[in-house]
Structure 1
Amino acid sequence: MPAERIAMHNIKELLRLKYDCALSHERIARALSISKGVVAKYVKAAEASGVGWAELAAADEARLRALLGTTPRPRGAAVGYVMPDLAAVHQGLKRKNVTLALLWEEYVQAAPGPTYQYSRFCDLYRDFAKGLKRSMRQVHRAGEKLFIDYAGDTVPIADAETGEISRAQIFVAVLGASNYTFACATATQSQADWLGALGRALRFIGGVPELIVPDNTRSMGGEPDRYEPQLQRTTAEFARHYGVAILPARPYKPQDKSKVEVGVQIVQRWILARLRHRRFFSLAELGVAIAELLEDLNARPFQRLPGNRRSAFETLEQPALRALPATPFQFAQWKKAKPNIDYHVEFDGHYYSVPHALVG
């Protein structure tokens, strides 16, 4: 039968009844609806601590636990068994082809003492995973996906000569497994800016993932389609050049790109909010400021997992990325045109001759 568990405020009340009221163990047990054995256990622990009742009464919960030696073990942990590093297990599962069975075998081999059986190891990990931020669980493998989008917030750029204000757009890219983040400023959200910023993101991470997931925007794809999003010709050529698949998120399905939705929020809070009091006169100046804060963002420690975005990227994602091509992508814009009777086509306000056989 497992030992009775008692809240810390009840332990303090137990000691008050013992030392202030001088009640017997039996009366204290009846007053608090616990067994006499539990009363004797905590009275003995208080005496063994060598601390008087006045100090125990003034101690907070953490201090009282330390004095009485009642600091709780991790949930589900058993006495005498080596507790696995569940945070490391969680990160390890992001590696391609790594399973809980493999991580359990490595835990058994490395542990200096008795270890849990595989079923208990899995239960401990699932309990740990439930304690992470509550959200729809999506497992992202290392080097698998890069999520991209533009932030809703913009940054004003002032023309030094005329004082005219333009709004710089903020491009954000986030790797799935490590949350390693890239951000830069562009003049617009045109197809040229989308692909140019994406090329800079790939150079920033130093490799190519298996899949890129953009928003379902007309700049990257054709007409938005709920079931079969199609890529524009230039976007498809970009994908072929880098040897990557581009799969736009479905319309009205934010869960398809939840990583970058969170990444955009973090960039807005930790980069754009810090720049709100500064005035910029060019995209290049803004880009330098963003790059400086981006280093700090990727070095910020995780709240529940070991390390930070940079260390997770270097450990998990970087080895799994494919090499970049020798040359960057050269942007080309395609347009369907019908030759006139003078066998010329118009593009961007200019006229170009074509073979006369194409007329009609």
Structure 2
Amino acid sequence: MSERVSMRKVREVLRLKFECGRSHAEIAASVAIGETTVGDYLARARAAGLAWAEARLLSDAEVEGRLFHDGGRNEPPSRVPIDFAWVHRELSRPAVTLQTLWVEYRDGAMGQAPLKAYEYSRFCALYAQWKKKLSVVMRQVHRAGEKMFIDYSGRKPHVVHPSTGEVYEVELFVAVLGASNYTYAEATRTQKVADFVGSTIRAFEYFGCVPEVVVPDQLRSAVSGPDRYEPDINPTYLEMAQHYGVTVIPARPRKPRDKAKVEGGVLIAQRWILAALRNRTFFSPGELNVAVRELLEQLNKRPFQKLEGCRHSAFETIDKPAMRPLPAHRYQIAKWRKVKVNIDYCVDYEHRLYSVPYTMVGAEVEIRATATSVEILHQSERVASHVRSYGPKGTAVICDEHRPREHRDYGKWPPERVVAWAESIGDQVGEFARRALGQRTHPETGYRTCLGVIRLADRYGKARVNAACARALSIGSPTCKSVTAILKNGLDRAPRVEPPTRAPIAHEHIRGASYFDTEDERDPGRNDSEARRDEAARDGTDGARDARVSPDGTPLH
């Protein structure tokens, strides 16, 4: 793992702990590191007196200097053993939590020096490991406004292409709140990042508020590195979560009980939405979503079978009061890409070029692209920002301040300045520059040719370059390669030999220029035979031609 990624995770640990108030286990699941590492980061922060409010304003290097200045770790002391049977038995009693039991365990360990008690995160982790040995199914208790579970339906709705009649499948996104079972569903074309992030945002907006935790499945759009213990959250999805202030804790792979709420919600959506639409035909996902929204409202207002009220009323009384309001601005979906800065101090994104300061040539940077902007970041710090270009492929967006000084001066030269510089070498060099710039649609594309010829004067002298340009112009090749070849071979010193002019050949079988008169100069009333007789008369071969033509002009065989 690179240094830069490690510091990003350290920052995320501090944010989740001090801003979101998450537990060590939740932070470990979200940031894809071990709980021990979470505890170590937080212990270092406490020892350094570094809070999140201060850390968010510091650079990666400053945070690293504050937290990781020590050289090693001490060996952990011996710990007081935990009575896991007692913990499990006490948890079944009302209002008893692991936090309460850990406090009692810690207080009881104070008289057993030199042994020390386990910290809370390790206490919980050891209990979770012990509990896996029990052949029981844990019934999850969901706190109000805490979790939103996300999944896609295995059964997919269909849409018909309006022009071709082709039937294709679309995805059904389902989100369910843990405490109230309030459900959101919509159809999307794919499960890709843009569709997945957009569906999550629209779910927040449908609820009108934000939960504390989002629990997606380990699909690639949510988890860029699927892993049972340390999944890496997709950077785009993580940025969206940070914008809304939520924690992403993916469900474990092949563990549907981690998201049993949404598994049930998907089943209900299939029965009450997809089944109800089975006999209807839709020609676009938007048209399908209109029908889905109507059935979704009916589903959320259907009375519970064993409880009072419905999903909507439970949401209004349980989840909504405990959830946080939406931020002032909607998150704008961004794509991330790692690239290296090219020698022309530009980075390539979707075949368009964007500049960065020229001192960063060869550096590895990250591109963050939205629909309207392209940002370039180096070690988590923004070094350039551009309005996104949708011009033809190869379009370059370059800020003048990113260029070195000599490039900025070069870009400000008009064609007249280049020609004037060339004329200072010689009149033929000036004519060469004028010709090279004039034959191009954009004169700027000929600057390099002119500058290349001008620099040849430093090596060969002005007189030779002037003579070489004259020779290149005479052969119709105003290019830097031609001038360079002439100078290398010494042709600028050789006398120019004009090609010999050939005298016209006089022969009786050559028709001459008069034969090729335009048609409008001939008599349109004459036929071809008369034209041949006239030609024969001019050439003095009347007898030979008349011998082959009858009096009426018909050819004789």
TM-score category of the 2 structures, normalised to the smaller one: 0.5 to 0.7
Counterparts in 2 of 1:104-183, with a 5 A limit? 136-183=138-185
Match for residue 298 of structure 1? 300
Matched residue, 2:240? 238
Q: How does 1:274-353 map to 2 (within 5 A)?
A: 274-353=276-355
CA contact (8 A) 1:160 1:281 kept: yes
Q: Of 199, 215, 229, which residue of structure 1 is paired with 2:201?
A: 199
The CA deviation at 1:261 is 0.8
Aligned to 2:269: 267
Mean Cα deviation higher: 227-236 or 280-289 = 227-236
Match of 1:213 among 212, 215, 219: 215
> Greater relative contact order (Cα 8 A, min sep 6): structure 1 or 2?
1
Aligned counterparts of 2:168 and 2:353: Cα–Cα separation in 1: 31
Q: CA deviation at 1:354?
A: 3.5
SS in 1 for 2:224: coil
Structure 1 counterpart of 2:293, which letter? A
**Equivalent residues in 2 for 1:62-81, closer than 5 Å:** none
Could you tell me how far apart the structure 2 residues matched to 1:166 and 1:359 are?
A: 46
Shift in Å, 1:299: 1.4
Please state how far the C-alpha of 1:194 moved relative to its aligned partner.
0.9
3-state DSSP of counterpart to 2:162:
coil
In 2, Cα distance between the equivalents of 1:209 and 1:241?
A: 13
Q: 1:100 to 1:345 in 2, by over 3 A?
A: closer
- d(CA) in 1 for partners of 2:353 and 2:167? 34
Inter-partner Cα distance in structure 1 for 2:178 and 2:232: 23
C-alpha distance in 1 between matches for 2:285 and 2:279: 16
Deviation at 1:181, TM superposition (A): 0.5
C-alpha separation between the residues in 2 aligned to 1:238 and 1:188?
Answer: 19
**1:204 deviation in Å?**
0.8
CA distance in structure 2 between the partners assigned to 1:256 and 1:348 by the alignment: 38
Q: Give the whole-Å Cα distance in 1 for the aligned partners of 2:319 and 2:297.
A: 17
Q: Which amino acid aligns with 1:147?
A: F
Stretches of structure 2 lacking an aligned partner (at least 5 in a row): 1-93, 97-135, 363-557
Residue 166 of structure 1: SS of its match in structure 2? Answer: strand
* Counterpart residue identity of residue 334, structure 2: A
Check conservation: 1:229, 1:247, Cα contact below 8 A: no
Alpha-carbon distance in 2 for matches of 1:343, 1:317: 51
What is the SS of the residue equivalent to 1:204?
helix
Equivalent pairs counted in the alignment come to 230
Which residue is equivalent to 1:247?
249
Q: Cα deviations across residues 111-140 of structure 1 (Å, max 9, x unaligned)?
A: xxxxxxxxxxxxxxxxxxxxxxx9741101
SS in 2 for 1:218: coil
* Equivalent residues of 1:151, 1:171 under 8 A apart: yes
Match for 2:188 among 148, 166, 186? 186
Q: Distance in 2 between matches of 1:300 and 1:274?
A: 15
Deviation at 1:325, TM superposition (A): 0.5
- How far residue 341 of structure 1 moved from its aligned partner, in angstroms, is 3.4
Residue 279 to residue 177, structure 1, CA distance change in 2 (3 Å): same
Matched residues in 1 for 2:325 and 2:343: separation? 48
CA contact (8 A) 1:211 1:246 kept: yes
Q: Which runs of 5+ in 1 are unaligned?
A: 1-98, 102-133
- CA displacement at 1:100 relative to structure 2: 6.8
Matched to 2:216, the amino acid is P
Q: Which amino acid aligns with 1:250?
A: R
For residue 173 of structure 1, report the CA deviation from its aligned partner.
Answer: 0.3
Letter in 2 for 1:247: I
Using the aligned pairs only, state the percent identity. 57
Q: Secondary structure at the match of 2:325?
A: coil
Map Cα deviations across residues 221-273 of structure 1 (whole Å, 9 max, x no partner): 22101112221222121111111111111112111111101101110111011
Secondary structure at the residue paired with 1:170? strand
* SS at structure 2 position matched to 1:261: helix
> CA-atom RMSD, angstroms?
1.9
Contact kept, 8 Å, 1:180 with 1:298, in 2: the verdict is yes
Tell me the SS of whatever aligns to 1:199: helix
Shift, 1:352, TM fit: 3.1
In structure 1, the partner of 2:434 is none
User: Bigger CA drift: 343-352 or 264-273?
Assistant: 343-352
SS for the counterpart of 1:258 is helix
Residue type at the aligned position of 1:275: L
Bigger radius of gyration among the two? 2
Q: In structure 2, do the counterparts of structure 1 residues 354 and 162 end up closer, same or farther at CA, with 3 Å as the change threshold?
A: farther
Equivalent AA in structure 1 for residue 194 of structure 2: A
1:107 matched to which residue of 2? Answer: none
Shift of 1:328: 0.8
Q: Is residue 148–residue 172 contact of structure 1 (8 Å, CA) maintained in 2?
A: yes
